[in-house]
């Protein structure tokens, strides 16, 4: 562990500060110097973001910064181990990939009429009506000038159980025993992005945020209507993201069975947010903790730390280290921007770096090439005091938007 000097609140890093890009260091110092900040923990996958870095945990007293959560509220991972082994899979996974791409909308797409929850077997056991009634209590949707609340609700319904684009993915993986796993990464889709941006703009207008070094770090203060509205919308969006992954995983399971032409059994799901807010206590102080690109390790809970299209992932259990605010990294982390990746790499590079993986290998996903990400083994080696590795997974199929 390293520390930054000259900040008002402590900044603890699980990476060498000299390896962190200057812009990200500035963002970390800006976060630490906010008058409400209790401390900042920096994960080994840290890189520059908007306002706050990706790969940071910010603990605040009586305040929360929407920019330290990010615009994809509730983004996270889910993984399930199957009863299949590598020997149960065909030589070509093209048919399985086609079934997955047919079942799960990717990019900006959604389902034509929303997912069929009864067919997926998840209609019972959860108060879906109560969840959707929460949409009617969301704030400021009338300020999304390009649309209206009814259209947003319809879109949110259609996008439930859809992937999105960018670094979101669905994967088939093999563990060290050649057992087959399903894994996916997605968040709160369009509605989460809209809610986040509406609240970020609201926060920027508040008087106490006018002198901040970076207005993207604008905060809401506890005990105010603005804070109450943000937290209500945030928790709804976090639940939307969780449900989105739940529905998508059921679609993924069914697509796998169709692609293989057989029945598949599944173990209990591992699931975790890595862009979210939680109320936690450290040093005897009640704090509002934002994780932007970080997972919780509290109570030994299991988590998922993915790499990129060709590098595999890790299933971990948390060690609950309080110095990191009981957190660990959410992935490998980018080492270059998407624009830089498109400039530096070619489609031939993408094909070489994803050899042996059934996936897209075209210019449309070039910015997701493994070479644009940090080395996952190095990231894992930097956080042995944060997590314990349970399984290392090797990617054999990857679907991206």
Catalytic residues: 330
Calculate the dihedral angle through the C-alpha atoms of 314, 315, 317, 319, rounding to the nearest 10 degrees.
Answer: 10
Is 307 marked within a binding site? Answer: yes
Is 72 marked within a binding site? Answer: yes
Residue 365 is classified by DSSP as G
Q: At what angle do helices 225-260 and 189-204 cross, to 10 degrees?
A: 160
> Containing H/E element for 98?
helix 94-103
Is 248 marked within a binding site? Answer: no
Is 47 marked within a binding site? Answer: no
Cα–Cα distances (Å) from 33 to 11, 20, 120, 281, 335, in that order, read 10, 18, 48, 20, 26
The DSSP code sequence of 211-267 is T-S-GGG--EETTSHHHHHHHHHHHHHHHHHHHHHHHHHHHHHHHHHHHHTS---BP
Is 332 marked within a binding site? Answer: yes
Is 167 marked within a binding site? Answer: yes
Is 256 marked within a binding site? Answer: no
Is 331 marked within a binding site? Answer: yes
Is 274 marked within a binding site? Answer: yes
Q: How much of the chain is in helix, strand and coil states, percent to nearest 5? A: 40, 25, 35
Is 321 marked within a binding site? Answer: no
Is 169 marked within a binding site? Answer: yes
- The Cα 170–Cα 152 span in angstroms is 25
Residue 125 is classified by DSSP as T
Cα–Cα distances (Å) from 334 to 44, 132, 157, 179, in that order, read 11, 35, 31, 28
Please report, in range form, the residues annotated as the binding site for GMP: 167-171, 274-275, 306-309, 313, 330-333, 400
Please report, in range form, the residues annotated as the binding site for Mn(2+): 72, 168, 185, 274
Please report, in range form, the residues annotated as the binding site: 72, 167-171, 185, 274-275, 306-309, 313, 330-333, 400
């Amino acid at each position: 562990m390293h520390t930054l000097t000259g900040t008002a609140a402590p900044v603890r890093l699980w990476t060498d500060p000299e390896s962190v890009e200057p812009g990200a260091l500035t963002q970390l110092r800006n976060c630490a110097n906010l008058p409400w900040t209790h401390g900042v923990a920096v994960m080994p996958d840290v890189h520059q973001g908007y306002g706050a870095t990706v790969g940071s945990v910010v603990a605040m007293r009586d305040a929360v910064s929407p920019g330290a959560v990010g615009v994809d509220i509730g983004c996270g991972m889910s993984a399930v181990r199957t009863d299949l082994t590598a020997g149960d899979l065909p030589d070509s996974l093209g048919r399985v990939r086609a079934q997955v791409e047919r079942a799960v909308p990717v990019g900006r797409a959604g389902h034509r009429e929303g997912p069929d929850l009864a067919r997926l077997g998840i209609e019972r056991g959860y108060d879906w009506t109560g969840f959707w009634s929460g949409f009617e209590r969301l704030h400021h949707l009338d300020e999304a000038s390009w649309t209206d609340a009814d259209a947003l609700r319809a879109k949110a319904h259609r996008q439930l159980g859809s992937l999105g684009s960018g670094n979101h993915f669905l994967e088939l993986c093999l563990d060290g025993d050649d057992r087959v796993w399903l894994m996916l990464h997605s968040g709160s889709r369009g509605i989460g992005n809209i809610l986040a941006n509406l609240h970020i703009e609201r926060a920027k207008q508040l008087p106490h945020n006018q002198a901040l070094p970076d207005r993207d770090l604008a905060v809401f203060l506890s005990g105010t209507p603005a804070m109450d509205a943000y937290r209500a919308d945030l928790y709804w969006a976090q639940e939307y993201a969780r449900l989105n992954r739940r529905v998508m995983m059921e679609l993924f399971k069914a697509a796998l069975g169709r692609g293989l032409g057989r029945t598949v059994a599944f173990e209990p799901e591992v699931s975790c947010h890595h862009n979210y807010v939680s109320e936690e206590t450290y040093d005897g102080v009640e704090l509002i903790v934002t994780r932007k690109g970080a997972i919780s390790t509290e109570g030994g809970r299991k988590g998922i730390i993915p790499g990129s299209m060709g590098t595999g992932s890790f299933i971990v259990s948390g060690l609950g280290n309080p110095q990191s605010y009981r957190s660990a990294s959410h992935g490998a982390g980018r080492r270059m921007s998407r624009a830089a990746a498109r400039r530096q790499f070619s489609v031939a590079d993408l094909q070489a770096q994803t050899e042996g993986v059934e996936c897209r290998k075209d210019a449309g996903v070039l910015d997701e090439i493994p070479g644009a990400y940090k080395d996952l083994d190095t990231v894992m080696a930097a956080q042995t005091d944060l997590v314990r590795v349970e399984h290392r997974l090797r990617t054999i199929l990857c679907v991206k938007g």
